[in-house]
A and B are shown apart, each in its own frame.
Chain A
Amino acid sequence: MAGQLPYDNRPWPERRDAALQNQTMRHTIGFVTRRFTLIKGEIYRTSPDLEASRKTAVGQKRQAIRDLPQLLEQFRNQVERRGAHTYLAAQAQDAVDIALNIARSHQAELVIKSKSMVTEEIELNQAFEKAGIPVRETDLGEYIIQLAKERPSHILAPAAHRNRHQVEELFQADASREKISPPQSDEIEDLTRYARSRLRQEFLRADMGVTGGNFLVAETGTLVLITNEGNADMVTSLPPVLVSIVGVEKIVRDWASLTEIIQQPAMSGIGRHLSSYTTMIQGPKSPGSVEGPREWHVILVDNGRMALRDTEFEDVLSCIRCGACLNACPVFREVGGHAYGSVYPGPIGIVETPLLTDFQVLPELPSALCTLCHACQEACPMDIALPDHIISLRHTIVKRHLNSSTVNWTLRTWARFWSTPGGYRRSISLARVMQRLSGKKRNAQGLFPGIFAGWGQTREIPQVAPKTFHEWWQEWKERAEEK
């Protein structure tokens, strides 16, 4: 069954232009992504012995996806054996309903969250706010964009599009609303100190915690979270009720597989061997222990994922959300995450968004936001065939008649002319006629048929040579024969 994903309903040209006009964002995103790419390359280069581990991780993850139904059942059995609850949500709305029911049954008044992309995907915060239950994001980046009332622009670094001056402004406004002392400056340390003391109060007050999950170990029913701020430790240990919402594809078979794969997100995402904190949850608080939630609920989200198994796109389910493909993508560096209009931007986003929703939302993504430069293929630690998938999705777009008639006409006419030498010669004569008609005028794109006109909007159109190579060769050959 197709999944549901939220999307920005502004048309692509509007999203694109808004992004390209935002010079601060472009500068910040360009800097951050190039830096991440650089340090990622550096760590793999200086740890060549870990290449074997990466390859093992890829193989094991592929197998886990093939065995997904059995592994999910094993995971659920293990979790429930320890007195926790599991649910399988077929679609986004189901996951939201389950989470809301849990919150309501405990009369939750404040929910704290650690960073989670799947809760962005199901729009959990919006649903909770609508139900009158405030939600507080505790990851620094998520907290920033929550104050800014934005969506994440990057799957790993949600506030990567904002610089520290902009963050300070948000914190200043928050401080004056809350009547607390504002950050002392826009230095990173002062900003972090502010967020830390501000969030501390909410950690202590909250009665429900929500997490995502980086890995689910089927063998033991363990949820693994990796963070760089330690906030997941607080979210999973302070509130009495814990709800973990995780995509079904996060399954790994056992601890041996976890050991291979756990380094990959940090190495590929932030160029470090391991994230600062690794949090493991294996059931609610047992009698006699002092820490941990009284109740633990695990909501496993399908939302279009299971339908990708046994298709050419199955490897997409191996994605570990490291963000390396976003960082390496020249288009992402140019327009940033919000221009995509999906919670999943970048190369993986333009593949997953149409796939998870069966082209119901943002079908333009594979064509509009990729030059097929293959940088993502090179960057992906899980060897996901992103460029091949993008071409294949473009093919699906053609088959489903989702392209404009101009594009269809151009590509079909083009192939008709160029599949024979005679047609090819005729097309050159035609191009010469058009060129004569347009003279040396600039912006003569009106005379060029189909999609070719797009070139002339921003670039001079190359002139057809007075003598093509074919024509030159004829003469050259004749001259040679005369000799």
Chain B
Amino acid sequence: MRIQHAGETFRKEDEIPVKVQLFVSCLADMVRPEAAIAAVHVLEKRGVGVEFPEGQTCCGQFSYNAGYQHEAAVMARHFVRVFESGTQEDPTDILALSGSCAATVMHTYPGLLYEDALQQGEPETKAREWKKRAEAVAGRVHEWSMWLGEHADQPMAPNGSPLPVAYHLGCHMRRLLPESRKAQDLLRALGIDAREPENAEECCGFGGTYSFTEPVVSTALADDKLANVQNLVQDAGAVCLTGADLGCLLHLEGRLRRQESSLPVCHVAELVELADQNRLTPDQVRQLEQGGGK
């Protein structure tokens, strides 16, 4: 299905609006709700109904990648229960505000829930049932910006030169979600000149709990990444650092602030909302950082 845009709402009058469920991720929920709020506004503007299952917490990727598989499975089962409830007859797409979380649900959940059920002494049939439930949920999960680029037409890009930004494509989105590089096309269509820094395919050093347990190496990697981002600021006039994964972005932002840099850092949804409102200027982007964008 493709959502057309017409006039102010980018929505075809006679089309029944689609509905999606939003998984905002723990990080957006707690420290960058503006990203999730922008994501809601952007979807609604395109005629997409947003449902937010309020029982949601975290996908459990932190625990899984640190080797705590049972702990991850506890959170994964919770995720599956939350997102399968009330959707039996009408399964909607689940849009995740993080490429990395989306990859976890898609690639890790089925095997994890199967294995953990067996580990907990459940019979094979029960384990297989968990696997099936996980697969059903996994099949509905998409990263937010990739879904938007694929399913919704965008308003015409404003006249004038596009706004250059530094775009960070996180490793899991890059390597585990097929065609993820297309996510940048969405931004370009909206008048955002998304540019990847040099050595873009190199990890920023976040790595989930790695950023806590190995701060030294994690930060050395961040500094390499940020040096290349700063080059984009200097050479291409990039006005901010953006991306679809708040884990990477908060890690890089934390480093920038410790080094007294005021380069704005924001989630792509915040930029898309600015574009929707025709407010895509360096000033408005700077205000996002101060929470003034809302």
Q: Which residue of B lies closest to A34 (CB)?
A: B199
Residue count of chain B within 8 Å CB distance of chain A: 67
Q: Cβ of A464 < 8 Å from any Cβ of B?
A: yes
For the complex, give the distance between the alpha carbons of A131 and B58 in Å: 60
> Are B36 and A469 neighbours in the complex by a CB distance under 8 Å?
yes
Q: Which of A158-166, A225-233, A369-377 contacts B (4 or more CB under 8 A)?
A: A369-377
Picked from A371, A419, A454, A459, the residue with its CB within 8 Å of the CB of B207 is A371
Q: Cβ of B128 < 8 Å from any Cβ of A?
A: no
Collect the chain A residues with CB atoms within 8 Å of residue B52's CB: 469, 473
Distance from A429 Cβ to chain B, minimum over Cβ atoms (Å): 11
Q: Which residues of B in the span 34-71 have a Cβ within 8 Å of any Cβ on A?
A: 34, 36-37, 40, 52, 54-58, 60, 62-69, 71
Q: Which of B9-17, B181-189, B209-217, B272-280 contacts A (4 or more CB under 8 A)?
A: B209-217
Collect the chain B residues with CB atoms within 8 Å of residue A457's CB: 215-216, 219
Collect the chain B residues with CB atoms within 8 Å of residue A391's CB: 64-65, 67
Collect the chain B residues with CB atoms within 8 Å of residue A333's CB: 202
For the complex, give the distance between the alpha carbons of A369 and B56 in Å: 32
Q: Cβ of A415 < 8 Å from any Cβ of B?
A: yes
Collect the chain A residues with CB atoms within 8 Å of residue B238's CB: none
Q: Which residues of A in the span 427-483 have a Cβ within 8 Å of any Cβ on B?
A: 428, 431, 442, 451-455, 457-465, 467-474, 476
> Are A374 and B33 neighbours in the complex by a CB distance under 8 Å?
no
> Are B54 and A454 neighbours in the complex by a CB distance under 8 Å?
no
Q: Which residue of B lies closest to A378 (CB)?
A: B175
Q: Cβ of B113 < 8 Å from any Cβ of A?
A: no
Distance from A210 Cβ to chain B, minimum over Cβ atoms (Å): 36
> Are B62 and A458 neighbours in the complex by a CB distance under 8 Å?
no
Q: Which residue of B lies closest to A366 (CB)?
A: B67
> Are B57 and A418 neighbours in the complex by a CB distance under 8 Å?
yes
Given the known A-B contacts A377-B175, A421-B57, A451-B213, are A460 and B63 also in contact in the complex, defined by CB atoms under 8 Å?
A: no
> Are B78 and A419 neighbours in the complex by a CB distance under 8 Å?
yes
> Are B254 and A462 neighbours in the complex by a CB distance under 8 Å?
yes
Picked from B34, B36, B220, B254, the residue with its CB within 8 Å of the CB of A460 is B254
Picked from A373, A394, A407, A412, the residue with its CB within 8 Å of the CB of B171 is A373
For the complex, give the distance between the alpha carbons of A276 and B169 in Å: 38
> Are A420 and B30 neighbours in the complex by a CB distance under 8 Å?
no
For the complex, give the distance between the alpha carbons of A378 and B26 in Å: 29
Q: Cβ of A368 < 8 Å from any Cβ of B?
A: yes
Grouping DSSP codes into helix (H, G, I), strand (E, B) and loop, the B interface class, with mixed when no group exceeds half, is: helix
> Are A418 and B30 neighbours in the complex by a CB distance under 8 Å?
no
Q: Cβ of A349 < 8 Å from any Cβ of B?
A: no
User: CB-CB contacts of A373-407 with B at 8 A, as 1s and 0s?
Assistant: 11101100000000000010111111000010001
Distance from B272 Cβ to chain A, minimum over Cβ atoms (Å): 17
> Are B30 and A455 neighbours in the complex by a CB distance under 8 Å?
no
User: CB-CB contacts of B212-240 with A at 8 A, as 1s and 0s?
Assistant: 11111111111010000000000000000
Q: Cβ of B192 < 8 Å from any Cβ of A?
A: no
> Are B175 and A375 neighbours in the complex by a CB distance under 8 Å?
yes
Distance from B263 Cβ to chain A, minimum over Cβ atoms (Å): 13
Instruction: A411-B63, A412-B71 given; name 5 further pairs at CB < 8 Å.
Output: A330-B221, A331-B203, A398-B67, A407-B209, A474-B54
Question: Can you report 17 A-B residue pairs in the complex whose CB atoms are below 8 A from each other?
Answer: A16-B217, A330-B205, A331-B203, A331-B217, A335-B217, A371-B207, A373-B207, A375-B201, A403-B67, A415-B60, A423-B57, A458-B222, A459-B211, A459-B257, A460-B257, A469-B24, A469-B28
Residues of A within 8 A of B (CB): 13, 16-17, 20, 34, 330-331, 333-335, 367-375, 377-378, 391, 393-398, 403, 407, 411-412, 414-415, 418-421, 423-424, 428, 431, 442, 451-455, 457-465, 467-474, 476
Nearest first, the 10 closest Cβ-Cβ pairs linking A and B are A394-B67, A459-B254, A371-B207, A415-B71, A373-B203, A373-B171, A469-B33, A458-B219, A460-B257, A454-B212
